Amino acid sequence: MSSPKLSDPIVRQSIDTIRLLAADAVEKANSGHPGTPMEAAPIAYLLYMRHLKHNPANPEWAGRDRFILSCGHASTLIYSMLHLTGYDLSLDDIKNFRQFGSKTAGHPEFGHVPGVETTTGPLGQGVAVAVGMAMGGQYLEQQVDAELFDYRTWVICSDGDLMEGVSAEAASMAGHLQLGQLNYIYLDNKITIEGDTSIAFTEDVGSRYLAYGWHVERVEGENLAEIDAAMARAKQDPRPSIIIARTHIGIGAPNKQDTPGAHGAPLGSDELALTKQAYGRDPKATFVVPAEVAEHMSTCKTQGEELEQQWQKQFEAKKSTPKVASWLEVSQGELPSGWATELPVFTPEDGAKATRQASGAAINGLAAKMPFLIGGSADLAPSNNTEIKGAGSWLPGQSARNIHYGIREHAMGSIMNGFCHTPGLIPFAGTFFVFADYMRPAIRMAALMGLAPIYVMTHDSIGLGEDGPTHQPVEHLASLRAMPNLTVIRPADANETCEAWKAAIANRQGPTMLVLSRQGLPTVDRNKFAPVAGLQQGAYVLSPEVGELQMILIASGSEVQHAMAAQEALQADGVGTRVVSMPSWELFAAQDAEYQEQVLPAACTKRVAMEAGSTFGWERYVGFEGVAIGMDEFGASAPANELMEHFGFTVENLIATAKQLLD
């Protein structure tokens, strides 16, 4: 991009304006972090004005570079940049920082502000999501079109980002995969909230990233020429790059620069006035954008429109080619025609089948029709059944549909979120259900942003057997059901599993978690019992009662078979018993009251639920007169059948509990 010389006064005037807008916003809100936006202003200026390929008039242009402010507490930095460079963010929005209903939340939120690529705030998530964005860009570049998708992912990050463990996993994977389109700029300011970083963080960050296989540069944070040249070199290096910038938090604040006092609280009116004096500004004036700065920085808009027009010409020439046309369809939110037609259908004659096995068959049926369905596993593909047959492996420098995350669940979850920010891609990934704990921060971020990754969680209960309580998820169903906007589905058999995949693919408003068995489960005969499409409602009457309804048995997953057998015995004793398969609380809660009443009529208060997990929450479905059979303790190491019997997940216990309730 053309721009004035770095020595021209307008450049420093613009940088100072960025700094003081950020400090004024925090001061007015009486809340926030002024110091980091102030130190990072030169870097942000150079990035937006000289290196970032972007168009403020169209923040979602597919060919743009991506920028993530991983240290989301420095949100007034990105708000100042978006306003000054011409995005749809007004000065009044900045003045309304951290107020209810404002675009300018305390941490940048995806979907709330044009130009914010992902929600950041939990440190480490931004740098890890960036790896997924860079991988997504590499996939589109190599599998769709190299000219259209040669974009770059830039990140500004902090000490906190690099201390969090997820960043280590993500950086290790990025170096291994040689993601040359990924660039971090690390604000090495030596300050955290508790004091100098030396009290907790003394490693050589540059050496660590060299060991990961990254290109490493060191610059002074106020030396524009050094930073600019380092950014240019980073764009030329085939490795991912980290530029370590020695910066000064709260720079220009006479009494708070280089102290924790510039970190997590406003500078204070007196200190802010002194800071403005140090920058040659009126100490009493607030939210000042000099006309010459506004004119200078608005050139981003003209340059961005030109860049997008050039890209659009290339796109028009290529949009009818098969790969680009296929990508265009899914990037606009449409699923390919006939996308579910290759899903398998199972019969009882197929024998007992673990739902993880059925899931593997479903993945390959879907992949045949959905070329942008990509996935992998945390070194557990043979157990999770996540491999897309014949699709190749993602290796250093070469993308493919099968991703080998290694034993990196923390990063896997975040990288999936990066994929979800890549137009057209639908990512899935697998691990053992118990290790959802490692992914929880990323799962929560996906739910918060309305992203739609698909989690394949196998070995769903004590039914995994001898691996013991460390690997047996007990509380996980309850805790994950508590997360807003996450759809959890625990299917009862192979066909419910395929139907669950249909629900997951169709859900583009939030993440879906498929919770699958290790052990084989019988396939329900759909010629005798309810159609499997009932799963789409979250709960359905799998087997109705004969005669007057006296008892409802509710179950999910591997326990549905016990409910079916118990129903047969109870009805033989004259007890009108209904079996409800309830694979998803969230899908059921989304149904209208009339449907919910049809499935679980209020008049029938005798109810027993059985699920091999915590009973927490089941009271909403069994009521005060019902019973939930579950486990509110940890499991043990033993064969699965012995564990199920010991903890009461048997037909006999279900029958006995129901009869006791009736008595």
> What residues are labeled active site?
409
Q: State the DSSP string of 39-108.
A: HHHHHHHHIIIII----TT-TT-TTS-EEEESSGGGHHHHHHHHHHHT-S--HHHHHTTT-TT-SS-SS-
For helices 35-46 and 75-85, give the axis angle rounded to 10 degrees. Answer: 40
Contact 72, 108 (CB under 8 A): yes
Amino acid present at 659: K
> What distances in angstroms separate CA 402 from CA 371, 372, 498, 505, 515, one per listed residue?
12, 11, 20, 18, 21
Tokens 């970032």, residue? 52
427: its two tokens: 């990512």
Amino acid present at 581: S
Alpha-carbon gap, residue 519 to 456, rounded angstroms: 15
Q: Which of 393, 423, 396, 371 is nearest to 148 (CA)?
A: 423
533: its two tokens: 């499409």
Amino acid present at 218: R
Q: Which of 40, 34, 77 is nearest to 253 (CA)?
A: 34
Sign, Cα dihedral of 658, 661, 662, 663:
positive
> What distances in angstroms separate CA 516 from CA 441, 527, 536, one per listed residue?
21, 24, 17
635: its two tokens: 């499991």
- CA 416 centroid distance within chain: 6
Q: Which of 209, 282, 361, 217 is nearest to 24 (CA)?
A: 282
Alpha-carbon gap, residue 403 to 395, rounded angstroms: 8
Alpha-carbon gap, residue 559 to 432, rounded angstroms: 19
Q: State the DSSP string of 522-585.
A: PPP-TTTS--GGGGGGS-EEEE--SSS--EEEEE-GGGHHHHHHHHHHHHHTT--EEEEE-S-H
Name the strand (E) or helix (H) holding 365: helix 355-367
Q: Phi first, then psi: what are they for 607, rounded to 5°?
A: -140, 140
Sign, Cα dihedral of 540, 546, 551, 556:
negative
Alpha-carbon gap, residue 287 to 15, rounded angstroms: 14
Give one word for 52, left, alpha or beta, with left for phi > 0 and alpha for psi -120 to 50.
Answer: beta
Amino acid present at 638: A
At residue 454, the 3 state secondary structure works out as: strand
Question: Strand 607-610 vs strand 454-458: parallel, antiparallel, or unpaired?
Answer: unpaired
> What distances in angstroms separate CA 405 from CA 379, 395, 408, 426, 557, one per listed residue?
6, 11, 6, 16, 27
Contact 453, 588 (CB under 8 A): no
